Amino acid sequence: MTGRKPANEAPIPNRIAELRERAGLSRAELAARVDANPQTIGYLERGEYNPSLALAFRLADVFGVLVETVFVREPPA
């Protein structure tokens, strides 16, 4: 399924913005590395979109971490 998440679906908290900034990447650069639209990265960072499993793993690969490090059960502090 593509596009933004349905309104009744709870967002998955993530650390994408933190990891992206730590890696020194812009949204556009991260998007190019994971074969996504920069707008999608913005939606993900704001919790407005839940990624596919494939995209979640591509994001983790770019940052060199486990997917559980990118997507967490509780919002990051």
The CATH number linked to 51 is 1.10.260.40
pLDDT in tens, 41-61: 999 999 999 999 999 999 999
At what angle are helices 27-34 and 53-63 packed, to 10 degrees?
120
> Is 47 a domain residue?
yes
Check whether 1 has a pLDDT greater than 50.
no
d(CA 48, CA 5): 7
> Is 32 a domain residue?
yes
Query: By the 8 A CB rule, do 1 and 8 touch?
Result: no
Per the structure, how many domains does the chain have? Answer: 1
- The pair of structure tokens assigned to 54 is 């494939």
pLDDT, mean of residues 31-45: 97
Categorise residue 47: left if φ over 0, alpha if ψ from -120 to 50, beta otherwise. left
The residue segments making up the domain with residue 58 are 16-64
> Is 35 a domain residue?
yes
